[in-house]
């Protein structure tokens, strides 16, 4: 099938966390709402459109947001509630479309390619949008074009609670007058570099030689140039949800060295938490398993607030191990498992964490993705070799 025949829809729930809170308390309607940590060092995870009028945006320090809008209502947030509503929307989409991808807790891509020979794709997408609103009470915006990038930008332009179609061949003129910040993958640092080059509008990016962008941004420069020109060949990836992720280690020699056991548990927890963040997932249940030299196996678990942060998970894993290891016998195997997984990246789960912790995890993940697992890790885990683990070992579906 030729690329010009593609019909890709992007759907994004409007101000999702705030919208869910308003379903449970309609007194919040029409008021500036901030979701996030209430402490001065916390950050805004999400905010209402009323709050955005004051210049507030997600990932902004909470103290700055409170200065901009002193009358805003601050809600810590409930990820379990948000996850359930996200699941409800996902099931409606699953029933209605041939192929979809869930890219985050509140975003979806749908491939309607070939369906327009039977029905109008834009009409079908708008009907699905109305069904989601009627059945869940949540408003959702959508964009339709021939690729994922243009559709995502179109959704942004349609918001809130609306839809926009970009006909084939009109991708470049649609993007041209927009700010470069509208292009997915152009964040604060990249846009600052572009501004210093005199590039503020997508039109300027479109007319620049791709080689110049490659020289400035490396291989990402070519991708930026293609996106600015409305070119995106990426496919809609069929959605399937892993129910758990786990790692186990069987020792060559049975051991009672508690320090060594703890270092292995910490290393496994770090690697699994990193995988969660890469997959934009959070866990609400932590399990630790030990197998003694006589093959007697014990497992214990604990429910926790949704998270993907090392410092939270390591604390829980260590506590569970101390409760579990009470026979003082030689241990043959240890394992860590995270279950009750939901979609949602670390950045939107910052109900308690500080700006410094956000930056730290983002920096650690960038280094470990670029140079390999355990490039940067806690000192106690350094003795555990990189190849001793398979972080995907035992992944449950």
Q: How far does the chain reach from its first CA to its final CA, in angstroms? A: 31
Q: Is 252 a catalytic residue?
A: no
Q: Alpha-carbon distance 155 to 159, whole Å? A: 6
Return the HEC string of the chain.
CCHHHCCEEEEEECCHHHHHHHHHCHHHCCCCEEEECCCCCCEEEEECHHHHCCCCCCCCEHHHHHHHCCCCEEECCCHHHHHHHHHHHHHHHHHHCCCEEEEECCEEEEECCCHHHCCCHHHHHHHHHHHHHHHHCCCEEEEEECCHHHHHHHHHHHCCCCEEECCCCCHHHHHCCCEHHHCCCCCHHHHHHHHHCCCCEHHHHHHCCHHHHHHHHCHHHHHHHHHHCCCCCCCCCCCCCCCEEEEEEEEEEEECCHHHHHHHHHHHHHHHHHHHHHCCEEEEEEEEEEEECCCCEEEEEEEEEEECCHHHHHHHHHHHHHHHCCCCCCEEEEEEEEECCEECCHHHHCCCCCHHHHHHHHHHHHHHHHHCCCCCCCHHHCCCCHHHCCCCCCCEC
Tell me if 88 is assigned to a ligand binding site.
no
Q: Which of 107, 165, 270, 352 is catalytic?
A: 107
Query: Which CA distances in Å does 69 have to 14, 29, 31, 37, 58?
Result: 21, 16, 11, 16, 14
Annotation-wise, does 106 bind a ligand? yes
Nearest to 264 by CA among 324, 326, 336: 336
Residues 6 or more apart whose CB falls under 8 angstroms from that of 67 comprise: none
Q: Are 314 and 322 in contact (CB under 8 A)?
A: no
What gap in Å lies between CA 288 and CA 319, rounded to an integer? 10
Active site amino acids: 107
Residue ranges for the known binding site are: 12, 106
Which amino acids are annotated as binding site for Mg(2+), given as ranges? 12, 106
């Amino acid at each position: 099938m030729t690329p010009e025949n593609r019909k890709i829809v992007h759907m994004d729930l409007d101000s999702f966390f705030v919208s869910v809170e308003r379903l449970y308390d309609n007194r919040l309607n029409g008021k500036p709402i901030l979701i996030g940590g209430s402490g001065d060092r916390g950050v805004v995870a999400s905010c209402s459109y009323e709050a955005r009028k004051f210049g507030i945006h997600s990932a902004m320090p909470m103290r700055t947001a409170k200065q901009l809008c002193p009358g805003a209502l601050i809600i810590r947030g409930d990820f379990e509630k948000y996850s359930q509503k996200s699941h409800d929307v996902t099931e409606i989409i699953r029933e209605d479309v041939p192929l979809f991808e869930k890219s985050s807790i509140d975003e979806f891509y749908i491939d309607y390619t070939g369906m327009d020979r039977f029905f109008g794709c834009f009409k079908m997408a708008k009907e699905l949008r109305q069904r989601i609103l009627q059945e869940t009470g949540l408003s959702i915006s959508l964009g339709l074009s021939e690729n994922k990038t243009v559709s995502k930008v179109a959704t942004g332009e349609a918001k809130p609670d609306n839809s926009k179609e970009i006909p084939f061949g009109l991708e470049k003129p649609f993007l041209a007058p927009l700010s470069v910040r509208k292009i997915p993958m152009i964040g604060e640092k990249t846009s600052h570099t572009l501004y210093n080059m005199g590039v503020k509008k997508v039109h300027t990016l479109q007319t620049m030689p791709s080689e110049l962008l490659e020289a400035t941004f490396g291989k990402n420069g070519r991708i930026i140039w293609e996106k600015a020109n409305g070119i995106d060949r990426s496919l809609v990836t069929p959605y399937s949800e892993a129910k758990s992720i786990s790692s186990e280690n069987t020792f060559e020699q049975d051991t009672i060295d508690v320090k060594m056991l703890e270092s292995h548990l910490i290393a496994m927890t770090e690697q699994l938490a990193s995988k969660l963040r890469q997959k934009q997932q959070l866990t609400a249940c932590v399990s630790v398993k030990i197998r003694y030299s006589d093959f007697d196996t014990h497992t214990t678990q604990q429910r926790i607030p949704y998270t993907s942060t090392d410092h939270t998970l390591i604390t829980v894993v260590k506590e569970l191990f101390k409760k579990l290891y009470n026979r003082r016998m030689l241990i043959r195997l240890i394992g860590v498992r995270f279950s009750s997984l939901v979609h949602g990246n670390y950045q939107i789960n910052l109900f308690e964490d500080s700006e410094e912790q956000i930056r730290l995890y983002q920096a650690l993940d960038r280094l470990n993705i670029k140079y390999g697992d355990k490039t940067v890790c806690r000192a106690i885990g350094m003795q555990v070799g990189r190849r001793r683990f398979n972080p995907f070992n035992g992944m449950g579906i």
